[in-house]
Amino acid sequence: MSEPFFFSLTSAPTVGDLAALVNAEFDSQFAARRIEGLAALERAGPRDLAFFDNPRYADALAATRAGACLVRAAAFERAPKGVAALVVDHPYRAFARIAARLVPDSLRAAPIFAEGVSPEAHVHPQARLEPGVNVEPGAVVGAGAEIGSGTLVGANAVIGAGVRIGRDCTIGAGASLTHALLGDRVMLHPGVRVGQDGFGFALGARGHLKAPQIGRVIIQDDVEIGANCTLDRGATRDTIVGEGTKIDNLVQIGHNVVVGRHCIIVAQVGVAGSTELGDFVMVGGQTGIAGHLTIGAGARIAAQSGVMRDVPAGASVGGTPAQDLRLFLKRAAQDRRGRASKEKRT
């Protein structure tokens, strides 16, 4: 169930209200039932809404006590008697839409202290803040920085000189930005580092010469970047993250990298310098992508892969070195059978 101490629903809608919001089909006998919480299948009670979108949780669906549950048409008959099954094409997406309506405060951080610029913050006189900007205690905003209305700068965050941040952004506590331009509705979680110099050195037998990094980081609208990610500024061109891209925690983006629009990058991924990802690329956790590569639009890379060559648009790859995913899975199965056979002989 949702934790009322932190998040409270803005209303207690009926099942009929929820069905109308996501265009769901349902048994009208449940139309007047009130929903007062959101919960996982196994924790949901008679006043909670849950969803079923993964066959691994079929047993949880069969045993749920939820008041209502979002399901696909194929699972309608599997919902327990008395549960209001709301039939939609994409249950998780419908659940997210409903949750955003009922618990809007969960979508972005709220000011910890009073709204406005805290007297304990340090804002340079030459910084330009639109009305409605919140700057929390300990935050620093440098000379010439520009911050749009509705943006929250968390406690102890550092906004470097000349950085531009759009409207309705969230800069998490302890984040730091330098040499960066951010669009609107960008969310940086706590500890994110943006714009530090990239890892560029001219190697030599007598030592390595540091190469100046004179590019920027450009983060377009509606990007979300998880806690403790690092995005290096470009060397001689910009590091770019395209609109709508979502990056999980603990991801490293090297200098000159270009990430396309609406990509998904899961935790602990490292993308080396000057690699380009097309639109709608998905990268599984703990994947390493070498530098100077092109990952085509719509490509999918399995978790823990090592990508050392270009990946064509729409391809699915996995393993180290990364290869066609079907081939990788086939070889992995052969290896397992081979090991099992060897163990039997010994």
> Active-site residue numbers?
255
Q: Could you give the 3-state DSSP secondary structure of residue 84?
A: strand
CA dist 12 → 7, 46, 101 (Å):
14, 13, 11
Q: Could you tell me whether strands 282-283 and 300-301 are parallel, antiparallel, or unpaired per DSSP bridges?
A: parallel
Percentages (nearest 5) of helix, strand, coil residues in the chain: 20, 25, 55
CA dist 48 → 19, 34, 204 (Å):
14, 9, 64
Q: Is the backbone of residue 228 left (phi > 0), alpha (psi -120 to 50) or beta?
A: left
Helical spans, DSSP H, in 121-210: none
Amino acid at position 20, single letter: A
Asked if 271 and 250 touch (Cβ cutoff 8 Å), the reply is no
Asked if 324 and 316 touch (Cβ cutoff 8 Å), the reply is yes
- Look-up of token digits 């040499």: 179
Amino acid at position 122, single letter: H
Asked if 271 and 257 touch (Cβ cutoff 8 Å), the reply is yes
Q: Could you give the 3-state DSSP secondary structure of residue 252?
A: strand
Distance from C-alpha of 249 to C-alpha of 181, rounded to nearest angstrom: 21
The answer for residues whose C-beta is within 8 angstroms of residue 132's C-beta and 6 or more apart is 149, 150
Asked if 252 and 271 touch (Cβ cutoff 8 Å), the reply is yes
Distance from C-alpha of 52 to C-alpha of 84, rounded to nearest angstrom: 13
Number of other residues whose CB lies within 10 A of the CB of residue 163: 26
Asked if 316 and 300 touch (Cβ cutoff 8 Å), the reply is yes
